[in-house]
Amino acid sequence: MGYWKVPCVFLLCLFISFCLPCQLLADEVDKNLTAQLFIDASERSSRPIPQTLFGIFFEEINHAGAGGLWAELVSNRGFEAGGANIPSNIDPWSIIGDESSIIVSTDRSSCFERNKVALKMEVLCNSEGTHICPSGGVGIYNPGFWGMNIEQGKSYKIVIYVRSTGEIDISVSFTSSDGLQTLSSTNIKASASDVSNWTKMEVLLEAKETNRNSRLQLTTSKNGVVWFDQVSAMPLDTYKGHGFRNELVEMLADIKPRFIRFPGGCFVEGEWLRNAFRWKASVGPWEERPGHFGDVWMYWTDDGLGYFEFLQLAEDLGALPIWVFNNGISHNDQVDTSSVLPFVQEALDGIEFARGDASSTWGAVRAAMGHPDPFDLKYVAIGNEDCGKKNYRGNYLKFYDAIKRAYPDIEIITNCDGSSRPLDHPTDLYDFHVYTSANNLFSMSHQFDRTTRQGPKAFVSEYAVTGKDAGTGSLLAALAEAAFLIGLEKNSDVVHMASYAPLFVNSNDRRWNPDAIVFNSFQAYGTPSYWVQRFFTESSGAILLNATLQKDSSNSLVASAITWKNSEAGQTYIRIKVVNFGSNSVNLQISVDGLDPNSVKLSGSTKTTLTSANLMDENSFKEPKKVAPIQTLLEDAHKEMSVLLLPHSFTSFDLLKESASLRITEDDSSLVSSI
């Protein structure tokens, strides 16, 4: 993700608004517009779409992972976010009690070598005597990421590392944000000898009530000195038990992504190399991970969501992992090619971690984390948006040669765009990023029409409408993106992968607009751009049909057609997708040729439409499906039929075939419609 692109998009939007006032959208046309769509469904004119065409791109931006997809409730769980020097800031941890009763500080006494900072709590009051602690005791609390969502009946695993000079009696509780309502509580008691050294304590808390804005607090009424480190609170109910927030992953699963590109983006590069994401610091036991400050998007991550977890997420989703790693280049500093070999070795070690045998050095680390079998890593990207930087080509070639020698089957992705001119270095795929206005992206439905079919293929790994056309996720943006995706689908002989960006935004920390999925501690909804992706769930691995539009004066329509198979129901469909980017309705005459007689079945055929009353309509927590697809039965499904396309709409028609006379590849058996 290129954070520098916003000003460019802004200037482009200004140009459009001042220089093209008569063309807010594609050319407007007269009322009663008509058009014809001819579809050749014969085998001779069809071709298979790559199995990998549509997927997702995850970047740690907008607190997408920390406080989002990763279900950890505690923010700054290891007290490292304030830096390695002491005293340090413990934010968002806060103190319960005044200075006469408690003194809280940090020191470097932790038992973990890579994260030495621990919290020291000196309790000056007691449950009896002359200095009695206030009711409820004194201590510390953590509000999580803008409030913890604690739900009645659910259980949460609390892990605390503790040390003390005496016996302890610590109350571990979930409470309301003001501490007045207790949702669940238990006590950790131990003798002085049991906690004289760092000791791991685990408890389960079952919530008796629900509170969407809760906090975790550790309190005591026993005087003495207590140290805490690595305080974690995780719901037991996570996606497949792997630590991911259920409803967010389920929204990803509904897209049926064929790949997941991770973990960035600019997050991989860093403003400076010293703050770039390093995979080796993100694997192994979570307590031992040092975490790091992401200086592009300006927040701390404990890196509980690390390299292993991304690989696991890909496996859980049935998607291929695409690992983006740093190639010795950040936004502000670069490693000279003559010194880049340690970075090359780090990438090779990362591939071994994913693919190596459990007896290999890094494969053994993966196996110790609970995954003895290798992950299915077939794609890697060397850097992010680094093409044109002084050392990129030289560094890239070092990585390329070393990886191809060790892993000749791995497909390598360059940052340099090869869609309009030949590349000066070898690669399997090239990256293509675009953030622009709605009009421009709509016109880019033909972007790859004239791209050479020889050589490396395109990976459109970041695309979106941005700027004033997008708001925080508008219908206008979604329609332009739908047209662009139809163009990619029709050019899937040269475009092999595509993914929207960014994927997630925590509504409390919008670093980028728009995004596909918006969430807070307990709610989530898809923007119109998310719903557009749901129209393409069956495209990867389907059969592309030859679809030709004949229009009068309109340039507002873009269309495609595929055949796909619902293996669960044993049914084959023709799916026709049409974007009407104009402000008038269109009477579209659809003609399907090349089918067996009477092969389109009336019952079971459907029409799905995405539109709204206003182009700038958006979804929200209050109206999560204000702009969402509406599916109805298609009452007049024939090989020859007339349909009405609403203004500013995206419509798909699923025509159920009586018999599967078209060629469908064996790998299509996993396709199931999910709009």
Query: Omega of the bond prior to 372 within 30 degrees of 0, cis?
Result: no
**674, pLDDT greater than 90:** no
In contact, 504 and 263? CB cutoff 8 Å: no
pLDDT band at 596 (very low <50, low <70, confident <90, very high): confident
How does DSSP assign 447-486, residue by residue? TTTTS-SSSSEEEEEEEEE-GGGTTTTBHHHHHHHHHHHH
Q: What is the mean pLDDT of residues 201-229?
A: 98
Residue 175: exposure state from Cβ atoms within 10 A (0-12, 13-18, ≥19): buried
Give CA 282 to chain center in angstroms: 18
pLDDT band at 20 (very low <50, low <70, confident <90, very high): very low
pLDDT band at 671 (very low <50, low <70, confident <90, very high): very low
CATH label, 53-67+241-540, candidates 3.20.20.80, 3.40.630.10, 3.40.50.150, 3.30.565.10? 3.20.20.80
Over residues 295-342, the pLDDT tens digits come to: 999 999 999 999 999 999 999 999 999 999 999 999 999 999 999 999
Give the pLDDT confidence score for residue 675 in this predicted structure: 63
35-49, 200-214, 627-641: the lowest-pLDDT one: 627-641
| Token pair for 246 | 């259920």
pLDDT band at 567 (very low <50, low <70, confident <90, very high): confident
CATH topology of domain 31-47+541-655: Immunoglobulin-like (2.60.40)
**8, pLDDT greater than 70:** no
Nearest to 199 by CA among 120, 110, 260, 128: 110
DSSP strand pairing (457-465 vs 495-500): parallel
Over residues 477-520, the pLDDT tens digits come to: 999 999 999 999 999 999 999 999 999 999 999 999 999 999 99
Q: Tokens 């996993």 identify what position? A: 670
CA atoms of 547 and 535, how far apart (whole Å): 17
3-state secondary structure labels for all residues of 491-545: CCCCEEEEEECCCEEECCCCCCCCCCEEECCCCEEECHHHHHHHCCCCCCCCEEE
**7, pLDDT greater than 50:** no
Over residues 343-370, the pLDDT tens digits come to: 999 999 999 999 999 999 999 999 999 9
Over residues 528-541, the pLDDT tens digits come to: 999 999 999 999 99
CATH topology of domain 92-233: Jelly Rolls (2.60.120)
Residue 673 sits at the vertex; the CA angle it makes with 667 and 675, to the nearest 5 degrees, is 140
Over residues 236-283, the pLDDT tens digits come to: 999 999 999 999 999 999 999 999 999 999 999 999 999 999 999 999
**371, pLDDT greater than 60:** yes
Q: What is the mean pLDDT of residues 609-620?
A: 98
Q: What is the mean pLDDT of residues 125-147?
A: 96
Q: Return the domain boundaries, the chain.
A: 31-47+541-655, 53-67+241-540, 92-233
200-204, 593-597, 653-657, 662-666: the lowest-pLDDT one: 662-666
Q: Would you say how long the chain is, in residues?
A: 675
Strand partners, 121: 104, 226
Identify the helix (H) or strand (E) that includes residue 548: strand 543-551
Give the pLDDT confidence score for residue 142 in this predicted structure: 98
Give the pLDDT confidence score for residue 662 in this predicted structure: 40
